[in-house]
Structure 1
Amino acid sequence: MTTVVPTSEEDPALAVVRFASELAWADAGPEVAEPQVTRLCVEAQECMVMGRWFDLASLMLTSAEVIFSKVAEKDLECIFTVICNVVTKSESPDEALEMAKLISAKITQQPNDKPALRLKILFNLYNLLENPYSRFYVYMKTLNLAIDGKVTEHIIPSFTKIDSFLKEWNIGIVDQRKLFLAISDVLKENKSAPKDSFKFLTKYLMTFSGDDAHNLSEAKEEAVHTIVEFVKAPDLFQCDMLDMPAVRQLEKDVKYALVYQLLKIFLTQRLDAYLEFQAANSTFLKSLGLVHEDCIAKMRLMSLVDLGSDETGQIPYSLIRDTLRINDDEVEAWVVKAITAKLIDCKMDQMNQVIIVSRCTERVFGQHQWQTLRTKLGTWRGNIANVISTIHANRITEDGTQAIQGLTIR
């Protein structure tokens, strides 16, 4: 038995079903179209009366999918706003999640057809959802759509809020890994933020502990990929990957031990070590997509950084020349490159043929660097305390002298 609830104004969901079905059956002629439109509208009313919101969403999507290429974008946006709004009708978080999955699946089926609009619809759906995990699910769909539809520029601004999103979603480690990899893929596709892509790859690797060998093996390929990305990037000179369990597992791996050795060279050694490694493994480096000349240029800068970490703070031109394997007239040019890359702050003393380093970037910032920083901060704190004590003592002396002078005048 069909129950029709009369209303003075047609419900938006029913209006969408009527509009979409009329357009979908328009070519069939009125004799065929009218019964079909009536049938779909009656079915939609039954769903609303019975509170079968999932079935209603499915019905609306079936009609709307057919007309996606026949309606202006602003009208499509209105139609899908009504469809997405059905998730707010359900009182069950599980049903709302299932509707979100259904709507997301339909929206992402044809990613190359109006991808920016589809992304906008998913954003709207995200904002209508209350359940944190449902929001996470839809956000993951937006990442995949952004890549497949080549509209990554629309999703990248949201990455600045990822930390707050993670707190809101409260997702587990497995979902965090999926998220970090997906974001890295988006940034890689965009090709404008290699540093950010690398950052999210390292976030992914940091989710692995050394306790579970099975899970660690899952991260092996991504660990290799992250190392290669670091070596390739001309503007990345610092990372703390050596001690990450997901990366450290490569050290004794039959297939990838050389990749770990390469990372160790770039983070802890100088150009001569790289040249020796390259001479023995040139084919392997090419298989990773690495360009020898680019690696030399990066290792020269990193070697110069290593020289700058010397406690004396002074580096002779001759030592730079020999370490970087360059000519005398190239020394200052490489120093300028290091300054431009913000790797060191220094002055060039051409008269004495030395550079005087005031600050130098650490290639690795691990336990030793933290201890060094703690020692320096302790020293600075002591020096500041001495200065304050001296100022205080001088102030007391001055106050006492002024008091005596005042008594003498009287």
Structure 2
Amino acid sequence: MSLHFVETYEEESCLVIARFIGDILDGDKNRTALANTTGSAFFKNCEAAFAKGDFVTVLDNFVEHINVLFTSLADKGDLDSYLDILIHVAQRLRDSEDTSQEQLLTAAKKVTAALTKETDKHAEKRLSALTDLFNALNGEPKIQLQVLLAITDYAKSSSLAGLLALALKTHLESWIKDWQLTVPEQRTLYMAAAEVLRLSKKKKAGPVDAYRLVVKALATYQGASAAELHSVRSKAAEAITDFIRFPDLYQFDLLEADAVKQLQKDPEYGPLYQLLSMMLTSASIKEYDALVKRHPEVLESTKVPAEDTRAKARVLALLSLASQHNELGFAAIKEALALEDDEVEAWIIKASGKKLLEARIDQLRGRVAVTRIPQRTFTQAHWRDLTAQLGAWKENVWTMKDIISSQTYTGLSRGLPAPKVVHAERRLLDWWIRQARKHGVKPSRIVSWVRRKLGTSICIYRRLCDGTLGCATPCLLCQRELLRFDLRVHCSQGAALWFSGRMSDAGAPKSQLTGMQRRSFRKHDLKQDS
């Protein structure tokens, strides 16, 4: 089998499509009369527009007769090629300097409308062409948003949600961030993507992910107007129903959110909100039984078997009970959950197996020691408590730091062993002594001189902090980061000596002194300070 490479140009590829569409428009007419036929006029119009670089006209002509390609082409390869060229023309339109934003948006809407017009046997090809158009418009976020919404609508109507679900789950958050969408645009996109994921049957992108997107959309309605809140009543009720229906969901953060809380007094969804509130906050299954008895229709609205809903209510009641006590007795759990004696341990193990509870069971004493339990809901009150707790911890850490610092310097002044950090001063003194011996100066002179300059009980890091960062006391950051530093010591007669080096655990720092500095060091400082 031999391969043949044929060089073609962009104009040739586009004109091939134009000629093909023209031939289809002419049908069985005689070719000798093509000069005055509809097909020949279509071809000449496309040829003239392409020669002028008028890609708007070329794209309009192709889009107007795009359904001709879907109905006339039996070969899938040819159809793919023609659709690729169509998207390429749209990309050329985007890259053209003469194309305005409004023209590009209008052209994109025409292409999406033509591709989504029918849900026939070529639905997958149409969806693929739409995604190619979306990618070709990269860098135009507002237009990409419109195309993406059209893609989600077509995926739902053509039963192709599974092909789009994983991409939406993976890239939706990055699109919202990169495109810098407004709050209304975020809501629209969240809801559209959630509808696609709800129809998907994939395990990695399905109804549970749709529920999470709806929750994110409802969170954007905090502080919204009454009209806006009323428009999402059904979506809020849908989120509550999903929370009750899905067996692995035990956390719901929107109990106090405006979009959900509005259902509290709603005549239609009021009992559903009461059921949610009771399941999240009640520590007894008896309240659940009483509510279901008063409103038996509430379980019918969730379309969940009554036994499954009661089992979930029991687990949530156990979590509420455990959050109130560090240690529980079997008798208290039995009464709160309406269990038999031999069922208590099984429900504790069930909650622990779902990683909702960490506890130790003492079978001999009939007690359960709770070590960790997550919040079932996280409201503004919880945020305030967490902020206060973190503030208290921060204050305690700073207090402990001040105590350690004061005790360190008190111990040094009393002659107690110096901590490892202060050994930097000793290494510095050792280096000065070696320099003194090198230049024939008595070590006693250099020791007394340096001690008078630096101080005997003050860590070198403290002097560095006072001189550079303005700290009142040395901190761990300085002790770690000031391993490389410059220390300037002013001498008695105005001469200056610069010490520049890198501290290391192996020994004293290395330094380079010029001849002038060494002479100043010998003749002025040590001689005058001796």
TM over 0.5: yes
Work out which of the residue numbers 308, 320, 343 in structure 2 matches 1:306: 320
Q: 1:21 to 1:323 in 2, by over 3 A?
A: farther
Q: Single out whichever of 299-308 and 14-23 deviates more from structure 2.
A: 14-23
> How many residues matched?
396
Distance 1:9 1:377 in 2: 64
Looking at CA atoms only, which structure, 1 or 2, has the larger radius of gyration?
2
Indicate if the aligned counterparts of 2:280 and 2:320 stay in contact, CA closer than 8 A: no
1:344-383 alignment runs, 5 A limit: 344-377=357-390
RMSD: 3.1
Distance 2:395 2:135 in 1: 53
Residue type at the aligned position of 2:376: R
Distance 2:59 2:339 in 1: 69
SS in 2 for 1:67: helix
Look up the match of 1:408: none
Look up the match of 1:86: 89
Look up the match of 2:55: 53
Look up the match of 1:179: 189
Look up the match of 1:65: 67
Look up the match of 2:121: 113
SS in 1 for 2:364: coil
SS in 1 for 2:259: helix
Look up the match of 2:132: 124
Q: 1:62 to 1:337 in 2, by over 3 A?
A: same
Distance 2:328 2:395 in 1: 29
Q: Single out whichever of 37-46 and 50-59 deviates more from structure 2.
A: 50-59
Indicate if the aligned counterparts of 1:239 and 1:363 stay in contact, CA closer than 8 A: yes
Look up the match of 2:517: none
Work out which of the residue numbers 186, 207, 216 in structure 2 matches 1:203: 216
Indicate if the aligned counterparts of 1:219 and 1:246 stay in contact, CA closer than 8 A: yes
How far did residue 97 of structure 1 move? 0.9
Residue type at the aligned position of 1:249: Q
Q: 1:356 to 1:220 in 2, by over 3 A?
A: same
SS in 2 for 1:365: coil
Residue type at the aligned position of 1:77: D
1:4-403 alignment runs, 5 A limit: 10-23=11-24, 25=26, 30=31, 35-49=37-51, 51-69=53-71, 70-87=73-90, 88-89=92-93, 90=96, 91-129=99-137, 130-155=139-164, 156-191=166-201, 192=203, 193-270=206-283, 271-310=285-324, 312-377=325-390, 399=418
Q: 1:240 to 1:30 in 2, by over 3 A?
A: same
- In the alignment, structure 1 segments of 5+ residues that lack a partner are 1-6, 404-410
SS in 1 for 2:296: helix
How far did residue 304 of structure 1 move? 1.1
Q: Single out whichever of 231-240 and 15-24 deviates more from structure 2.
A: 15-24
How far did residue 329 of structure 1 move? 1.6
Residue type at the aligned position of 1:358: T
How far did residue 361 of structure 1 move? 1.5
Indicate if the aligned counterparts of 1:316 and 1:355 stay in contact, CA closer than 8 A: yes
Distance 1:74 1:304 in 2: 61
SS in 2 for 1:346: strand
How far did residue 343 of structure 1 move? 0.8
How far did residue 370 of structure 1 move? 2.5
Bigger helix fraction = 1
How far did residue 280 of structure 1 move? 0.9
Higher relative contact order (CA 8 A, sep 6+): 1
Distance 2:21 2:364 in 1: 82
Indicate if the aligned counterparts of 1:210 and 1:216 stay in contact, CA closer than 8 A: no
How far did residue 363 of structure 1 move? 0.9
